[in-house]
Amino acid sequence: MLPEARRDELIAFAESLADIARAVLTAAHARAETEVEIKSDGTPVTVADKEAERLMRAAIKQTYPDHGILGEEFGADNIGAEYCWVLDPIDGTKSFLSRVPLYVTLIGLQYQGKPVLGLIDQPILKERMIGDNRTAWLNGKSVRVAEVALSEAVVVSTDLDNIRRLHKDIRWSRLADSVAHVRTWGDGYGHLLVASGRAHVMADPIMNPWDLIPVLPILRGAGAVVTDWQGGDPLNTGHVIAAAPKLHAAVVQVLRD
């Protein structure tokens, strides 16, 4: 858990980092052209990605020089520290490139190696969700996952091609046929939707540490059960099923049956 004596201080600092990123991304969203590079793994990165992370890292180093940082664009620095910030300046870069306002900034904090604080920020919609494993709140209002029957569930994901490619042995089609609907353009915003009860299941087939660590305290704080697709620890495998407890059990049963 987040140390109680420092809880308010660290939450306020996480919000200040989100404010930094929001200013960069709001300005970039308004521009007609986007400067894009293709990384070695074939995924796009923008100037805005790099600028937002650079500024957040600078703020951390100035305020907490002994803290570690793990970021998507500039890698690891002192990650064995007692406190380590985890940054994804734009989660959903493909959404950003199309100006679909479902990309988010993800900010997480690990304490003694465990995720204790998470923040999801959508700068255009001005939605900010924070969680600390015990509670979660969206724009200051407490939120909870919604417990619904499997047949009534809305499932969100990011890319169905990744599901087909990475989970060929999983009965995804059977799950899709068992629920109300499946929607994409998820990325980090899908986790916000589930944590706030707007959608019901987040099925993320592949997640890096900077995608996963920030959302775990939020989902758990909102009452979700979060496992990998086989019901194990998502930190060990990098893929996630998140839902309210009874619904989660039903989803994993379908996927494993």
Q: CB atoms < 10 A from the CB of 43, how many?
A: 11
Size of the chain in residues: 257
Q: Quick one: CA torsion of 69, 57, 102, 42, rounded to 10 degrees?
A: -70
Q: Are 188 and 211 in contact (CB under 8 A)?
A: yes
What are the pLDDT digits (tens) for 65-116? 999 999 999 999 999 999 999 999 999 998 999 999 999 999 999 999 999 9
Q: Are strands 154-156 and 181-183 parallel, antiparallel or unpaired?
A: parallel
Which residue pairs from 98-102 have beta carbons closer than 8 angstroms and sit at least 24 positions apart in sequence?
99/29, 100/185, 101/29, 101/125, 102/185, 102/186, 102/187, 102/189
Query: Which domains, and CATH codes, for the chain?
Result: 4-142 (3.30.540.10), 150-256 (3.40.190.80)
Q: Quote the pTM value.
A: 0.94
Q: Does the pLDDT at position 170 exceed 80?
A: no
What are the pLDDT digits (tens) for 121-132? 999 999 999 999
Instruction: Assign 215 a pLDDT band (cuts: 50, 70, 90).
Output: very high
In this prediction, residue 87 carries a pLDDT of 98
In this prediction, residue 169 carries a pLDDT of 65
- The distance in angstroms from the start CA to the end CA of the chain is 34
